[in-house]
Amino acid sequence: MSGAGSWRACQLSGHTTEPRDSHQQRHLLSVSPPEIRSILLSASPDVGPISRSSSDGKSSYMASPRAQLHPIIMTKQATEPSTGTIIVRQFQPRDEPQVHALLIEGLVYGSDSPRNAALRQSLTSRVSLVVYTGFAVGIGCFWSSDVILRACGVLLCLFAAALLGYYQRSITKMFVDYCANARKADMADIMDSYELSLSANGLSAQKGPGGFWVAVIESPEHNTAEVVGTLGLDHRGTPDPATGELRRMIVSMRHRRRKIGTLLMDAALEHARRFAPLFQTLDLETTNFQPGARMLYEKYGFAVVSTRTMHMGPLFSMTAFRYRRKVAQ
């Protein structure tokens, strides 16, 4: 991870809390503890917690056979003001409602969501140019003294307005349908889809090489935990057993520029390295409407290996980029 400050690792002594009501969630945004935490991984069944220290500027690692099911916390002294403690951990069943809500926010209704990016781009598309031309011609007809021509101008303006409304509604519906299909597919049962199970202490434990991480802002003082980011590593859904696919990378619009995506990527990559050589490559797919995500992936060494055009109805299409990188690089 980037940034200054000393690192230390410690075991999580308790379990994370969940929000009691919306008032507590709103109050969470004003909480300002001094650290940003990230649970990078959970101990594997055969290896206990791994601690890391850098008191002398060098890193050291030590495996411990105890507390095998307890997650590991990686902490970092924040270098700028924070509005809460960010913790990256494995998904818990109680997170599901917030994860589903974040999916809608991140893809559809957030200010920088792909849907809004698509709507902004649509303003300069060929369909919109046809609409603008129709409006211009229709308004021009209003100046005519011919009643029939003026009526045609009104009809032309109404048709152009209807076409623009249908075009933008189709874009919104495409992203809403995508979220609905995701909730019926892998996100219908995240625990099973990403190979997680409940351990004896009630926390999620990995039963395979897959995983699903959530970034949460916790406030033990107010007994709240807000999910602000997600990332899944799918192993069973790929045709190549040596390839894992990163999916459902979403960061809350209200908490951008806090390195949440970086923390999630670090957790997933560290997990993939633990399962090497089973995992040799990692794939992911994103679109031309997610430039921020593409910059993050390229920062981590992912390179475009293919593109495809996704036609979403007769008037709208987008480009999907397939990224890939070696786990060991």
| pLDDT exceeds 60 at position 71 | no
- Longest Cα–Cα distance in the chain: 90
pLDDT tens digits for range 83-136 = 678 889 999 998 999 999 999 999 999 888 999 999 999 999 888 999 999 999
**pLDDT reported for residue 198:** 78
Whole-number mean pLDDT of the chain? 75
| pLDDT exceeds 50 at position 236 | yes
pLDDT tens digits for range 167-217 = 999 999 999 999 999 999 999 999 988 988 877 776 676 777 889 999 998
Contact 255, 228 (CB under 8 A): yes
Q: Which residue has the tokens 């649970």?
A: 39
For residue 127, CA distances in Å to 123, 124, 287, 320, 322 come to 8, 8, 20, 21, 27
**pLDDT reported for residue 106:** 92
Q: Measured in whole angstroms, how far is the alpha carbon of residue 234 from the centre of its chain?
A: 14
Where in the chain are the domains?
7-91+194-279, 114-183, 281-329
The H or E element spanning position 179 is: helix 147-184
* Mean pLDDT to the nearest integer, 321-327: 94
Among 44-48, 250-254, 289-293, the least confident range: 44-48
* Mean pLDDT to the nearest integer, 62-89: 45
Contact 251, 106 (CB under 8 A): yes
Residues 6+ apart with CB under 8 A from 48: 63, 64, 65, 66, 67, 68
To the question of pTM greater than 0.75 for the whole model, the response is no
Give the β-pairing of 71-77 and 35-42. Answer: antiparallel
Q: Which residue has the higher pLDDT, 95 or 237?
A: 95
**pLDDT reported for residue 257:** 84
